[in-house]
Chain A
Amino acid sequence: MKFFLKILKDFPAYLWSGWGAVASILLFIAFWDVGNQIYGNLVLPSPLETFKTLYAMLHSKDILEQIDITLYRASVGFGLSLLFGSVLGLIAGFFATASMMSRPIVTILVGMPPIAWIVLAMIWFGMGDETVIFTVVVASFPIIFVGALQGTRTLDGELKEMADSFAFPWHMKFIDVYFPHIFSYIFPAWVSGLGMAWKIVIMAELLATSDGMGAELAIARSQLDTPTALALVTIMIGSLMFIEYIILEPIKREVELWRV
């Protein structure tokens, strides 16, 4: 509780430090506008037109429904990866044999291009939620798994010894000795896993379903409706930035104050 208050207290200062980021975004939009003036509306609609389309979109019930569908798929996929990636990664980390055995499997999962998974999933599950969710899990699970595994493998033996010498009870060993270290590995893995899930869900939808934001993007493409396509991209990037910079980063800062 005290911890969350602290996050809230430091939040304004954190936001204030974001002016640099805002400036760079504005600069990016300025270049975008230059691009529009050079290449014309069909290739690159102006930022203003894009934002107008975006505004209209956010007021249309239909699009909001599509966003809902995509959100649902991404969260289920990411939630499953989070749960199984963390738990299995921890288990694999605590046992040397398990971590050795899991390495090649992780290499296969990481190395296989997501597009190949989508093709396989379409054959296995058809065109629907399962295909998308499966692809999301396959893509973000290994990232989280590896984070949890690394965190557990790199636990400091000397600190464990210290805990033993003071006869820490098991729950204190876990909460005060293991957890903070593991968390400093697993949390960044969650963040990258989330980014991955969000990207993959769009791609899988674009190829494998007839609804969701990815499907909307496919329609925009077929109609050469560039403003809509760009507005959709803006939604995707905007939401990712919101989650990463407004929610996750402040938490990470508080949790990792002790780091160099």
Chain B
Amino acid sequence: MESLEVKHLTHHFGFTEILHNINFTLKKGEVVSIVGPSGGGKTTLLHLCAGLLDVAEGEVNNSFKTTAFAFQEGRLLPWKNVIENIAIALLARGEKKSVAIQKAQEIALKFGLEEDDFEKFPKDLSGGMKQRVNFARALVVKPSLLFLDEPFSALDIGLKRELYTHLIESCEENDMSILFITHDLIEAIRLSDEILLLEADPGHIVKTFKYDSPKEKRDDAFVYKESAKIVQDKEIIETFKLNTLELK
């Protein structure tokens, strides 16, 4: 059984402790989200899990066969157009060029990109479009484990909803697992089996929330009810400093 196990993971940048004693397990087919304040070490944690940073203390055991990463800042190749940027992930896996282009075009359309945009270089794309290309590049290879770093942050609500559905479908189809970061609790509740709440300075997990109901059955009523509940949670209030808002 493929899984991602994180045990006693601690990370320093220089002398600052960024992450402290992180423990969790991500099983095959599960979606786990990480929420927490900005600068709390979420991206760092994801990079450690994906092997983009070296683990110094603790363990990260990743037995998933293939992984793909959608970065917070896009990281598109500036000299490749939209389609080439998506297709390159497939080419790297040895896919034939014509097939790769075909698949890239299909997924680009699903991600709300238009044919007029296909030939554009990243410099001519909007922030949200870059984000979608970056996201599509990771999803198109159908990895068994997908890392997503705030993939929806620059998208409008309509587009977000479309992509949620699309993501849930491909999860079902390919039995894909996801570890993803978000700032949006509603989004986390809609998509995840488990939410890890990461408090800052140094980043550590204060609480986990589990949601068992099947994702395609989670309607707006369910999501809003649960999110109303979660913002009453003591740890959530403390971690995001929600009470300061009330005082005003």
A161-B77 CB under 8 A given contacts A167-B92, A258-B123, A260-B123: no
Is the C-beta of A176 less than 8 angstroms from some C-beta in chain B? yes
Question: In the bound complex, what is the Cα–Cα distance between A257 and B84 (angstroms)?
Answer: 15
Given contacts A158-B71, A172-B92, A258-B80, list 12 more A-B pairs with CB under 8 A.
A163-B92, A164-B52, A165-B52, A165-B69, A166-B69, A166-B137, A168-B92, A176-B80, A176-B88, A180-B78, A257-B121, A259-B78
Which chain A residue has the least Cβ–Cβ distance from B134? A162
Interchain residue pairs with CB less than 8 A apart (12): A158-B75, A161-B75, A165-B50, A167-B93, A168-B88, A172-B91, A176-B77, A177-B77, A180-B77, A181-B79, A258-B80, A258-B121
Is the C-beta of A159 less than 8 angstroms from some C-beta in chain B? yes
Question: In the bound complex, what is the Cα–Cα distance between A172 and B67 (angstroms)?
Answer: 18
Contact with B along A248-260 (1 / 0, CB 8 A): 0000000001111
- CB of A166 within 8 A of CB of B78, answer no
Is the C-beta of A111 less than 8 angstroms from some C-beta in chain B? no
> Closest approach, in angstroms, between the C-beta of A21 and any C-beta of chain B?
27
A158-B73 CB under 8 A given contacts A165-B50, A176-B88: yes
> Closest approach, in angstroms, between the C-beta of B106 and any C-beta of chain A?
19
Closest 4 CB pairs of A and B: A180-B79, A258-B79, A165-B69, A258-B121
How many A-B pairs have beta carbons closer than 8 Å: the answer is: 50
A162-B80 CB under 8 A given contacts A172-B91, A257-B121: no
Number of A residues near B (Cβ < 8 Å) is 20
Residues in B neighbouring A260, C-beta threshold 8 A: 123
Contacting B92 at CB < 8 Å: which of A159, A161, A169?
A169
- CB of A258 within 8 A of CB of B78, answer yes
Question: In the bound complex, what is the Cα–Cα distance between A159 and B77 (angstroms)?
Answer: 7
Chain A CB within 10 Å, residue with most, of B52, B77, B122: B77
Chain B CB within 10 Å, residue with most, of A163, A167, A257: A167
Contact with B along A218-260 (1 / 0, CB 8 A): 0000000000000000000000000000000000000001111
> Closest approach, in angstroms, between the C-beta of B146 and any C-beta of chain A?
11
Is the C-beta of B89 less than 8 angstroms from some C-beta in chain A? yes
Is the C-beta of B68 less than 8 angstroms from some C-beta in chain A? yes
> Closest approach, in angstroms, between the C-beta of B141 and any C-beta of chain A?
8
Residues in B neighbouring A165, C-beta threshold 8 A: 50, 52, 67-69
Question: In the bound complex, what is the Cα–Cα distance between A165 and B121 (angstroms)?
Answer: 22
Residues in B neighbouring A257, C-beta threshold 8 A: 121
Contact with A along B105-149 (1 / 0, CB 8 A): 000000000000000011100000000000001000100000000
Residues in A neighbouring B141, C-beta threshold 8 A: 166
Contact with A along B64-97 (1 / 0, CB 8 A): 0001110101010111100000001101110000
A159-B121 CB under 8 A given contacts A165-B68, A172-B92: no
Residues in A neighbouring B71, C-beta threshold 8 A: 158, 162
Residues in A neighbouring B80, C-beta threshold 8 A: 176, 258
Chain A CB within 10 Å, residue with most, of B92, B93, B121, B141: B92
Question: In the bound complex, what is the Cα–Cα distance between A165 and B88 (angstroms)?
Answer: 12
> Closest approach, in angstroms, between the C-beta of A78 and any C-beta of chain B?
27
- CB of A166 within 8 A of CB of B92, answer yes
Contacting A161 at CB < 8 Å: which of B52, B67, B79, B93?
B52
Contacting B75 at CB < 8 Å: which of A162, A181, A259?
A162
> Closest approach, in angstroms, between the C-beta of B215 and any C-beta of chain A?
26
> Closest approach, in angstroms, between the C-beta of A128 and any C-beta of chain B?
45
Which chain B residue has the least Cβ–Cβ distance from A183? B79
Residues in A neighbouring B89, C-beta threshold 8 A: 166
Question: In the bound complex, what is the Cα–Cα distance between A176 and B78 (angstroms)?
Answer: 10
> Closest approach, in angstroms, between the C-beta of B72 and any C-beta of chain A?
10
